[in-house]
Amino acid sequence: MADFVQNRYEFVLLFDVENGNPNGDPDAGNMPRIDAETGLGLVTDVCLKRKIRNYVDIVKNGIEGYDIYVREGAVLNAQHRKAYEFYGIEPESKKLPKEVEEARKITKFMCHHFFDIRAFGAVMTTEVNCGQVRGPVQLNFARSIDPIVQQEVTITRMAVTSEKDAEKKEREMGRKHIVPYALYRVEGYISAHLAEKTGFTEDDLEILWDALINMFDHDRSAARGKMASRKLIIFKHETALGNAPAHKLFDLVKISRKDPGRPARSFEDYEVIIDYSALPAGVNLIEK
């Protein structure tokens, strides 16, 4: 693997949805998530991290160091035992090894073996204890630029569930929850200090950028409609500590609707304005 990430980064990702549900809320009948006070749509950081994990798993499948810790159907204690088996250590219930060096080796193995631990961190203090790691890559909730419209669309199925139903009806009714169109913005952070602790490398960083750009192309479903990453704006600091506050960099990126008098129905209905003149010294802006 390459060297650890040496620079601090912040980034802004713009992605959109057309006739789909980008992130259903199970507490609201799986309707698209929404900020009740503003009407803006929400997509959780957990949802986006899931898509990043899935993309990395596709691209790096079988390559050492790029296994995925939190995957569908995974048993976390079984994942933890891989570290103990590698070093021939017998795990003690809910405890790390008493020897400090052995405990460090167990946690380090997890960071080296699993990409998502190396990137996002993990709390691994279960029955088979592998410690706790704070990851260098963190995301906020994504928020839509404009208030969203939660539409409930009635659909029919030309079949029924059981023989009993077949005697009474020819088809069954159902519902889909969609957003006709929305553009979302999510902001993220990468800490060089934490990258060194988990072993997050420049190669890891490149696959992260690729995942943010391409993850929706490998996450198609009938529920999610048409989703796409539209623009990735990266702020690279010259130093590990950073050369400007993150919020000031995020404020340089403004998104506005070209015609506020009509509903937006495509990315072309918005204008992305970046104030290059206010970019602080020591920060490089990269667009992808």
The three-class DSSP label of residue 174 is strand
Task: Summarize pLDDT for 24-65 with one digit per residue, the tens.
Answer: 999 999 999 999 999 999 999 999 999 999 999 999 999 999
**How would you classify the pairing of strands 253-257 and 270-274?**
antiparallel
Mean pLDDT over each residue of the chain, to the nearest integer: 95
Q: Average pLDDT for residues 142-149, to the nearest whole number?
A: 97
- What are the residues facing 271 on neighbouring strands? 256
What does R_g of the chain's alpha carbons equal in angstroms? 22
Q: Which residue has the higher pLDDT, 162 or 273?
A: 273
Task: Summarize pLDDT for 58-110 with one digit per residue, the tens.
Answer: 999 999 999 999 999 999 999 999 999 999 999 999 999 999 999 999 999 99
Q: Are 153 and 234 in contact (CB under 8 A)?
A: no
Task: Summarize pLDDT for 200-233 with one digit per residue, the tens.
Answer: 999 999 999 999 999 999 999 999 989 999 999 9
**What is the predicted pLDDT for the residue at 164?**
78
194 pLDDT tier (thresholds 50, 70, 90) = very high
- Helices of type H across 161-257: 163-166, 192-198, 202-214, 246-250
pTM given for the model: 0.94
**What is the predicted pLDDT for the residue at 2?**
58
**What is the predicted pLDDT for the residue at 7?**
98
Q: How far apart are CA 225 and CA 22, in angstroms?
A: 8
